Amino acid sequence: MIYTITLNPTIDRLLFLEGTLTKGKNNRLRKVAYDIGGKGHHGSYAMNQSGVKNQALGFSGTINASKLEKILSDKGINYDFVEVYGKPTRESYVILEEKVGGSILITEKGFNITDYDIGLLFEKIEHKVQREDMVLIAGSVPPGFDLHDLENLLKQLKKIGCFIACDLSGEALKKAVEIGVDFIKPNQFEVQELIPSDGNFLEPIKELSKKIKYVIVSLGKDGSVCSHAGEVHQVSAPTVELVNDTGAGDCFVGTFLASLSLSKSLAECLSLASACAANQVQYNDSTTFNIKDARKLQKEVTVKKLS
Ligand code: TA6
């Protein structure tokens, strides 16, 4: 079983503009839609497309719980949240301009989590997660959940002995590296922060992968680089029409982990993840992709061993 943990849940409000975003004018909307937000939730969606059983854990504010739960149910996500009474789950605003590829993402901070809420989450994890399971912790951490809480969460998972994947950034990513987990997906700037180097990031990720089994650096349309077991692989990304890149990295992570849990080869894990992310950016929401179409794209993906 895979569990995804989204500590800071969000609902994506998709804002479809007439024309392009322009200062000094009333930018009118053609349409508003809602989709799953939160990197762990996106990971769960991707795992579902690969047919891998998983459950989304984390927090949910009771004020708009029905809205979040309807979106998740419509997308087939199995979830079991700690409900935080009297709080609203935040929103991320995904701005999509007419006839322009890509999105502008503006994200609220999220509600404050108390030690009581954190204790309830840790209890759920203790009750559910087994040694043979995989856990993905993804996205930002909410106010009230500090690095000490993250350290406790990671230590709890290490004590259980499950596979720990972290799609985190900033100080949270550094904490994951310090504690030692099995998977991280820094961007090329975060790698430099983790292990400063004057040149490219190949040496730093080789160094990191002595402690962390899988280090994947996402490079957007330029694909990704993976360091594992002393080898570095360059993964291409298929060329597609970019509509909305929101959630592409999450799609990659969820698909990669799903394939890994099925004991697929590293090349298969990487190439299918790259193809699914490429297929996903062709849709105008934050989650949708078609795994059958992605498998056709997968044939274009190259996985080249660099060292
Ligand atoms: O990665 C895309 C996304 O999950 C968006 O859907 C939006 O919800 C945002 O990231 C949330 O990011 P955060 O890092 O705050 O969890």
Can you give the pLDDT at residue 193? 84
Q: Please count the helices (runs of H) and the strands (runs of E) in the chain.
A: 10, 14
| C-alpha 68 chain-centroid distance | 17
**Which two structure tokens, joined as six digits, stand for 292?**
């059958």
Helices (H), the chain: 39-49, 65-74, 115-128, 147-160, 170-179, 188-194, 202-208, 248-261, 266-280, 291-298
Can you give the pLDDT at residue 98? 96
Q: In what order do the strands lie in the sheet with 10-17?
A: 29-36, 10-17, 90-96, 104-107
Can you give the pLDDT at residue 113? 97
Q: Are strands 183-184 and 163-167 parallel, antiparallel or unpaired?
A: parallel
Q: Spell out the residues 6+ positions from residue 41 whose beta carbon is closer than 8 angstroms to its own.
A: 4, 6, 9, 56, 72, 77, 79
Can you give the pLDDT at residue 139? 97
Can you give the pLDDT at residue 188? 84
88 lines ligand 1 (CB under 6 A): no
* Chain segment 199-229, per-residue pLDDT in tens: 788 888 999 999 999 999 999 889 999 999 9
Are the beta carbons of 130 and 163 closer than 8 angstroms? no
- Out of 3.40.1190.20, 3.20.20.70, 3.30.750.24, 1.20.1260.10, the CATH code matching 2-7+40-58+114-306 is 3.40.1190.20
Can you give the pLDDT at residue 115? 98
| C-alpha 189 chain-centroid distance | 17
Q: How close is the Cα of 286 to the center of ligand 1, in Å?
A: 9
Are the beta carbons of 256 and 165 closer than 8 angstroms? no
280 lines ligand 1 (CB under 6 A): no
Q: Spell out the residues 6+ positions from residue 275 whose beta carbon is closer than 8 angstroms to its own.
A: 238, 294, 295, 297, 298, 300, 301
User: What is the residue-level pLDDT of the chain in tens, covering all 307 positions?
Assistant: 999 999 999 999 999 999 999 999 999 999 999 999 999 999 999 999 999 999 999 999 999 999 999 999 999 999 999 999 999 999 999 999 999 999 999 999 999 999 999 999 999 999 999 999 999 999 999 999 999 999 999 999 999 999 999 999 999 999 999 999 999 999 888 888 888 887 788 888 999 999 999 999 999 889 999 999 999 999 999 999 999 999 999 999 999 999 999 999 999 999 999 999 999 999 999 999 999 999 999 999 999 999 7
Q: How close is the Cα of 157 to the center of ligand 1, in Å?
A: 23
Atom 9 of ligand 1, residue of closest alpha carbon:
38
SS3 assignment, position 141: coil
Can you give the pLDDT at residue 192? 84
Atom 7 of ligand 1, residue of closest alpha carbon:
37
43 lines ligand 1 (CB under 6 A): no
Atom 15 of ligand 1, residue of closest alpha carbon:
140
Can you give the pLDDT at residue 307? 76
Tell which atom from ligand 1 comes closest to the C-alpha of 10.
8
SS3 assignment, position 111: coil
Domain residue spans of the chain = 2-7+40-58+114-306
* Chain segment 129-142, per-residue pLDDT in tens: 999 999 999 999 99
Atom 6 of ligand 1, residue of closest alpha carbon:
37
250 lines ligand 1 (CB under 6 A): yes
SS3 assignment, position 299: coil
Half-sphere exposure in the Cβ direction for 52 (13 Å, CA): 25
